[in-house]
Amino acid sequence: MLVYLDNSATTRPYDEVISEMSHVMSSSYGNPSSLHRMGFDAEKIVKAARLKVSDALWAHSGDVYFTGGGTEGDNIAILGGARALKRKGRKIITSKIEHPAVLETFKALEQEGFQTVYLDVDDHGVINLDQFKSELDEQTVLVSLMHVNNELGAIQPVEEVGKLIRNMGKVYFHIDAVQSFGKLDMRSAVSAADLVTVSGHKIHGPKGIGALYIKHGTVIKSPVTGGGQEKNIRPGTENVPGIAGFGIAAELAYKDFDNKIAHMRKVRTHLLEGIKAEIEDIRINSFEDERSAASVLNISFPGVRGEVLLHMLEQKEIYVSTGSACSSNKKGQSHVLKAIGLKDEEIEGAIRFSFSQFNTVEEMDYVLEELKKAVKSIRKVTRR
């Protein structure tokens, strides 16, 4: 039995996405900027997909711009937003547990003279609103926070942050919603934000495609320059097959949404309860309840090296992750797990299980059996 539990790293594309992309590539390969019928057909495909993505975001389609994925969306939003407001102030705020696409972009802005603030998080990965309030001041021009953390699943209070920012005048609020899109209803988060980044491959869509929502009236200075596509926010010939596939994925992700999420939560809880009952000496790093998205469960097995456990499970065709697949930390230690205060042994023994709508309770019974055996055999050696 193959059990794929690395859905926060990437997901299996929907069959409908694959067939739509294949159809677009073979039959509608025109350039949307061309003036002839083939160009017009390609433009129509982009337009239809934009509507689907904007519906999923509860946004106007004119406020949604296609990008080359989550990393590029984060870069355009943060560099573009901060640089547009730099005459007003130079302070930008984020958290310690962001994705490298945000953290490295903040570092790049430090080189340009911006003052950066990295908010602390509690032992499950949530920021402290009082600390945020005390940092938000007249000099602040941009705040960037993730909606759902990719390693823990923790949901940030983005609506409250949005309210506080709204009272401050001109401050842009960017939400990295790469891990929440398709997992949470986006309405309240999008209405709290000026800029929202999402990505295709986390929602059973293609890789290398994403979108940036830019609230009407939000002026940014995109770092990408070129031929004017996407209203100069992300110029470059449109990735028409990717866009078409992303549109289908966004539409399918929100079809029968409540049932899908309830199913994911049931699968997650089944695994969690099984691990709690059958494996001793563990630390559950994610929230067990709805303060975490249904998609992620992070657990430490002290006395076990996560990497060793990962490869033992791989032998059984169970695919998990040790934290983040795209960690920027050279030592390989997760900056997220460090920020929530884990000890070295707990960081090294952490496994991230990340779920999709396609996982089943039966799969979790198999995972639990194999996990139990693997943890026991590793600990036999390390705890002699």
Q: What is the signed CA dihedral for 98, 262, 291, 306, rounded to 10 degrees?
A: -50
Q: What is the DSSP string of 143-158?
A: EEEESB-TTT-BBP-H
Applying CB under 6 A, what is the total number of residues that bind ligand PLP?
A: 15
Of all residues in the shown chain, the one whose CB is closest to ligand PLP is: 70
Piece in contact with ligand PLP (CB under 6 A), picked from 66-74, 241-249, 266-274, 336-344: 66-74
Q: Distance from CA of residue 271 to its chain's centroid?
A: 22
Stretch that binds ligand PLP, among 40-48, 153-161, 173-181, 288-296 (CB under 6 A): 173-181
Least distance to ligand PLP from the beta carbon of 330, Å? 18
- Nearest approach in angstroms of CB 73 to ligand PLP is 8
Least CB distance from residue 101 to ligand PLP, whole Å? 4
Q: Does 95 bind ligand PLP (CB under 6 A)?
A: no
Query: How far apart are alpha carbons 337 and 340 in whole angstroms?
Result: 5
Active site residues per annotation: 326
Q: Stretches 51-59, 67-75, 213-221, 303-311: which one binds ligand PLP (CB under 6 A)?
A: 67-75
79 forms part of the interface with ligand PLP (CB under 6 A): no
Question: Could you say which of 49, 178, 193, 244 contacts ligand PLP (CB under 6 A)?
Answer: 178
Question: Residue 150 CB, nearest distance to ligand PLP (Å)?
Answer: 3
Tokens matching residue 272: 């969690």
Q: Which one of 7, 105, 140, 150 is in contact with ligand PLP (CB under 6 A)? A: 150
Residue 378 tokens, joined: 């590793």
How many C-beta neighbours within 10 Å does residue 194 have? 24
Which residue type sits at 375?
Answer: V
CB atoms within 10 A of CB 376: 11
CB of residue 74 to ligand PLP, shortest distance in Å = 6
Residue range at the interface with ligand PLP (CB under 6 A); choices 37-45, 69-77, 291-299, 349-357: 69-77
Of 357, 266, 282, 354, the C-alpha closest to 318 is: 354
The verdict on 67 binding ligand PLP (CB under 6 A) reads no
Q: Where does the chain have alpha helices with state H? A: 15-27, 37-56, 70-84, 100-111, 129-135, 158-166, 187-192, 240-253, 257-278, 306-315, 335-339, 344-348, 361-382
- Looking at the Cβ atoms of 71 and 270, the one nearer to ligand PLP is 71
Quick check: 82 and 75 in contact, CB under 8 A?
A: no
User: Which residue among 83, 90, 99, 124 contacts ligand PLP (CB under 6 A)?
Assistant: 99
Q: In angstroms, rounded to a whole number, what is the distance separating the alpha carbons of residues 288 and 339?
A: 19
User: What is the closest distance, in whole angstroms, from the C-beta atom of residue 226 to ligand PLP in the complex?
Assistant: 19
Q: Does 146 bind ligand PLP (CB under 6 A)?
A: yes
Q: Is residue 97 within 8 Å of 240, Cβ to Cβ? A: no
Ordered strands of the 115-119 beta sheet: 64-67, 210-214, 195-199, 172-176, 140-146, 91-95, 115-119
Using the contact rule CB under 6 A, the part of the chain among 20-28, 45-53, 176-184, 286-294 near ligand PLP is 176-184
Q: Is 329 in the site for ligand PLP (CB under 6 A)?
A: no
Report the interface residues with ligand PLP, using CB under 6 A: 69-71, 74, 99, 101, 146, 150, 176, 178-179, 199, 201, 210, 326
